[in-house]
Amino acid sequence: MKERGCGILLHITSLPSPYGIGDMGTGAYNFADFLSESRQKYWQILPLNITCSKYGNSPYSSFSAFAGNPLLISPDQMVKHGYLSEGDIKDLPDFSDSNVAYSEVMLFKKTLFSLAFEKNSVSLATHHEFQKFCSENSGWLDDYSLFMSLKDHLNGLSWGEWPAELRDRKHGALVEYSGLLSDTILKEKFLQFIFFSQWLSLKNYCDSKNIKIFGDIPIYVNYDSADVWANPEIFSLDEKKKPLFVAGVPPDYFSSTGQLWGHPVYHWDVIKEKDYSWWLRRIEHNLKLFHLFRIDHFRGFVGYWSVHSSEKTAINGKWTDAPAEDFFNAVLSRFPDISIIAEDLGIITPDVREVMEKFGFPGMKVLLFAFGKDLPENPYAPHNHRTNCVAYPGTHDNNTIKGWFKKELSADDKDRISGYIGREVNENTIHWDLIRLVMMSVANMSVIMMQDILGLDEKDRMNLPAGPEGNWEWRVSPDQLSSDLAKKLAKLTRLYGRD
């Protein structure tokens, strides 16, 4: 982030595709072309981790911190590389082009993947690239594949409810079930091989277009995950290996009762004793996938909100210290050229700012937070930005610009925005007004959600934090990614020195 640039936030699930969900097929490559044509330098995405309907299909709640989401696998690319035939994908359900219907997509792709595995399973024993992938990723892949196979065998039970010998990973039980479930385990490994092969091909294509992929790492992992099952000692669990203290945030802008995420918090003292090995492996894995990444809920590395697992809301928690400086010294010693963006929204205390300053981590500036009564001093207002930050109109957790303007602002707020811009604003042009503000910011990086570039309203927002349903479903259509729109963005990108 030494020079100016800009990018677009669009998750893979939101891409055009005939298969009911965005994937790593033609729609992804076409979007990379759109980014190139519009002179963008960054493509920001949400986490690539496997999702589940039980957890609202959120990419921030996963069965693994390492495994990729098979729903993002492109059937077209599987045909291209010989894992399926054209005939296997010709009869498609009537999927929506504008939203992801996760249950229908899961059913369709599960059937398709079973067919692909049936066609290719015998050849995997002599498939050099597959065997190499399994060997290089065995540190997480073996546990993940057995974990998912056991979950399937035990009808989806959380691992804390498994028979004690499996819950506690007794050697004899693991050997027995590894043999019993060998086909399912091999299938899980096969899907991960396909996922990462397709992802690295897409990343290489972005490299050829001088586009950097800007990833996202959730700080926490689900209790019901291969990571907690395989590494229980580094998480806050009781004697029966159930969560004891869980993560969240206190009441804030998004929720009056806070957000109770339910992920077990870390035993940082144990992690430190182990020289941060699990976290360093996780970061190394993500550095293969992304050019740079954001760490979600960065402040949790300095002090985290810990709530007893018996609580129903996040109100009755407490801040607990974490060894941030020692941890990031270890990270930078191992990866001296790493590019980390700190998600520093919400309640940020001076000690968090000190850590960010010490290590030079850029933070985030969101314009939708800028126009309250404290506008002159507000750190999110463009005149208070600094070069070492990422400026956004809004993020995936916010309303769209147009939805925010129509539904969340008072008359006084709108007057302040008009006064700041120097003319009266309205709902038809407010998205371009804020896009221009982040483009002209001194921030070295600006990132804009695709929904805001398109001027969409609140029904097209990506996520409503603590919202019960309908999140993570929005998709862009191919005709919305027009050449005219790319040219308009390119013109602004050049005008504000971000080309």
pLDDT bracket for residue 254 (50, 70, 90): low
pLDDT bracket for residue 469 (50, 70, 90): confident
Of 156-165, 286-295, 416-425, 462-471, minimum mean pLDDT range: 462-471
Sign of CA dihedral 206, 207, 210, 215: positive
Which residues have a Cβ under 8 Å from the Cβ of 83 and sit 6 or more positions away?
116, 119, 120, 194
- Is residue 466 scored above 80 in pLDDT? no
Domain boundaries, the chain: 5-495
Q: Do the Cβ atoms of 361 and 302 come closer than 8 Å? A: no
pLDDT of the residue at 252: 76
Q: What letter does residue 126 receive in the DSSP assignment?
A: G
What is the average pLDDT across 126-130? 98
Strand 317-321 versus strand 259-264 pairing type: unpaired
- Is residue 375 scored above 90 in pLDDT? yes
Strand, coil or helix: 423? coil
- Is residue 358 scored above 70 in pLDDT? yes
pLDDT bracket for residue 467 (50, 70, 90): confident
The phi and psi torsions of 259 (rounded to 5 degrees) equal: -125, 120
Q: Do the Cβ atoms of 5 and 13 come closer than 8 Å? A: no
Rg of the chain, C-alpha, whole Å: 23
Q: What letter does residue 156 receive in the DSSP assignment?
A: T
Strand, coil or helix: 314? coil
pLDDT of the residue at 430: 98
Task: Give the whole-angstrom CA distance, residue 4 versus residue 442.
Answer: 8
Task: Give the whole-angstrom CA distance, residue 415 versus residue 435.
Answer: 18
Of 130-144, 201-215, 468-482, minimum mean pLDDT range: 468-482
**End-to-end distance of the chain based on CA atoms, in angstroms?**
14
Task: Give the whole-angstrom CA distance, residue 212 versus residue 217.
Answer: 16
List 216's β-bridge partners, or say none.
294
- Is residue 465 scored above 90 in pLDDT? no
What is the average pLDDT across 466-474? 86
- At residue 164, what is the residue type? A
Helix (H) or strand (E) holding 78: helix 75-80
Chain-wide mean pLDDT for the chain?
96
- For 66-109, the pLDDT digits (tens) are 999 999 999 999 999 999 999 999 999 999 999 999 999 999 99
Q: Do the Cβ atoms of 269 and 234 come closer than 8 Å? A: no
User: Domain 5-495 falls in which CATH fold?
Assistant: TIM Barrel (3.20.20)
Q: Do the Cβ atoms of 202 and 28 come closer than 8 Å? A: yes
Of 53-62, 161-170, 190-199, minimum mean pLDDT range: 53-62
pLDDT of the residue at 27: 98
Residue 316 burial (CB count, 10 A)? 12
What is the average pLDDT across 388-409? 97
Which residues are known catalytic residues? 296, 343, 397
Q: Of 300, 402, 382, 307, nearest to 346 (Cα)? A: 300
Which residues have a Cβ under 8 Å from the Cβ of 42 and sit 6 or more positions away?
5, 6, 7, 8, 211, 212, 213, 214, 445, 447
The phi and psi torsions of 445 (rounded to 5 degrees) equal: -125, 135
Q: Do the Cβ atoms of 466 and 259 come closer than 8 Å? A: yes
- Is residue 345 scored above 80 in pLDDT? yes
In Å, what is the CA distance from 398 to each residue of 144, 306, 466, 495? 33, 25, 12, 27
pLDDT of the residue at 229: 98
Q: What letter does residue 76 receive in the DSSP assignment?
A: H
What is the average pLDDT across 317-346? 96
What is the average pLDDT across 382-390? 98
Q: Do the Cβ atoms of 160 and 240 come closer than 8 Å? A: yes
Q: How far is CA 350 from the centre of its chain?
A: 27
- Is residue 242 scored above 90 in pLDDT? yes
Which residues have a Cβ under 8 Å from the Cβ of 479 and sit 6 or more positions away?
none
